[in-house]
Amino acid sequence: MTTFTPTTAAEVREMVRWAAAEEQPLETVGQGSKRGIGRPAQSEHVLDLSRLTGVTLYEPEELVLSARAGTPLAEIEDLLRNRGQELAFEPMDYGRLFGAAPGRGTIGGALAANLSGPRRLKAGAARDHILGVAAVSGRGEAFKAGGRVVKNVTGYDLSKAMAGSWGTLAVVTDVTFKVLPAAETETTVAVRSLIDDDAIAAMALAMGSSAEVSSAAHLPEGVTGRIAGGVLGGGPATLLRVEGFGPSVAYRVNALHGLLKDAGTVETVEGTASRTIWRDVRDCAPFADGTMHPVWRVSMTPGEAARFVLALRMEAGVDAFYDWQGGLVWLRMEADPEAEAVRRLLRRFGGGHATLVRAEPQWRAATPVFEPQPPALAALSARVKEQFDPKGILNPGRMAADAPSDRLVPSRMGPSLTRETRT
């Protein structure tokens, strides 16, 4: 295996051009923090972007930040924090779920995986904050899309096409994101002892109020204790996050207490404890158990989530908790991924997308990791892929089994590459 470590966009372009010419597959990685997600890809060469780093523009008053794709996310978040700002889409950190250290990952990876967090409900995901990219297509051609201003409808939004593409369309070399002021303070309102059904109703009530709840999660009995070092004690907890300016937060927390007083016991969690709770919900900490038990991330209609989980429990051993008002269900299976049951029941309960984010490689090779698409959409997606990467050299097989990797020629080192170190 050969690893290329470019430090400039021009070098990235040269490498992709070579790979395209020689029809050699490339696996693009940043810090590798999400490398275990997706179908296990077999690529002869690794394009390591972890040295393509640096914040190239940060103008807090313009709410804009540009960086090279390999810039560590942690570095960017620190920089923003020092100016009272943040990436409002709250990118989750997969580290702990995979038994690795937290705090790794790059800004390019955040885009490629379209990361988000509990605030997704109100603030959107990476796709909603990306303003522009520079990238190298699988054709080896450098292109840019979007810009550095918030409001822009000039041409197709190819920046969004990069979000969630897992590096299979182009190698993004530079990103420009919208940044936003961080909330002055946050408080969590916790309604206790609700069963899943009632929790879904309580979250819908809260989200439909003018309390401007920014996150809504429900931890069933047995999951609660695994959040924020057990600060919530035992028993189910339905969590509502309120963020903003001090007086406003106090007012809205009070409003939620009034709204939910008949639903159950209502508690208030403030400050660091509140922030830790949401960090753990974001990072799926309850299932960061040091095992490789299969974990599903299910994006679905919020109102159907409890019934979906109930139906699944009748068929399989499963541990579950809810984020996004129920619109995001995390499932940990006791043994097999049970893909057939998960996807059949998801279709029955309003449809959506189930992604097998954690599983042993053999499961990820045997099961479609990402939700299979209907034929017309799958064909359209394949045509889009073909237009970016006609030779199928970028992360072949990572998203779909039918990527055109079979068209690639067997490994043959280019003349200028024979001196490469093999690891």
Partner 1 sequence: MSGLLMPKPDAATLSRRAEIVADMRIIVPREGVVDTVNGMRAFETDGLTAYRQLPLVVVLPETVTQVSRILKYCNERNIRVVPRGSGTSLSGGALPLEDAVLLVMSRFNRILEIDYSNRVVVAQPGVTNLGITHAVEQEGFYYAPDPSSQIACSIGGNVAENSGGVHCLKYGLTANNVLGIEMVLMDGEVVRLGGKHLDSEGYDLLGVMTGSEGLLGVVTEVTVRILKKPETARALLIGFPTSEQGGQCVADIIGAGIVPGGMEMMDRPAISAAEDFVHAGYPLDVEALLIVELDGPGVEVDHLIGRVEAIALNNGSTTCRVSTSEQERLTFWAGRKAAFPAVGRISPDYYCMDGTIPRKELPRVLAGMRELSEQYGLGVANVFHAGDGNLHPLILYDANVPGELDKAEAFGADILRLCVEVGGVLTGEHGVGVEKRDLMGEMFSEADLDQQMRVKCAFDPNHLLNPGKVFPQLRRCAELGRMHVHRGQLAFPDIPRF
Q: How far is the CB of 116 from partner 1 (least distance, A)?
A: 7
Minimum CB distance to partner 1 smaller for 226 or for 398 = 398
Task: Give residue 21's identity as a one-letter amino acid code.
Answer: A
Q: How far is the CB of 288 from partner 1 (least distance, A)?
A: 20
Which one, 48 or 338, has the nearer CB to partner 1?
A: 48
Closest distance between partner 1 and the C-beta of residue 389, in Å?
Answer: 11
Which residues, at least 6 apart from 11, have a Cβ–Cβ distance to it below 8 Å? Answer: none
The contacts found for 33-36 with CB under 8 angstroms, 24 or more apart, are 33/93, 33/94, 33/95, 33/98, 33/100, 33/104, 33/105, 33/109, 34/94, 34/105, 34/109, 34/113, 36/98, 36/358
Quote the least distance from Cβ 110 to partner 1, whole Å: 14
CB of 401 to partner 1, least distance (A): 14
- Let me know: does 86 contact 179? Beta carbons within 8 Å: yes
Q: Which residue, 101 or 379, has its beta carbon nearer to partner 1?
A: 379
3-state secondary structure of 246: helix
> Closer CB to partner 1, residue 223 or residue 249?
249
Q: How far is the CB of 235 from partner 1 (least distance, A)?
A: 25
Least separation in angstroms between residue 304's CB and partner 1 is 9
Closer residue to partner 1 in complex, CB, 89/226: 89
Q: Give Cβ neighbours of residue 121 (< 8 Å, ≥ 6 apart).
A: 207, 213, 214, 215, 216, 324, 325, 327
Q: What is the CA radius of gyration of the chain?
A: 22
State how far the Cα of 279 lies from the Cα of 133, in Å rounded to an integer. Answer: 28
* Contact present, 331 and 292 (Cβ < 8 Å): no
State which residue, 197 or 221, has the beta carbon closest to partner 1: 197
Q: Are strands 170-178 and 180-181 parallel, antiparallel or unpaired?
A: unpaired
DSSP state of 360: -
Nearer Cβ to partner 1 (64/277): 64
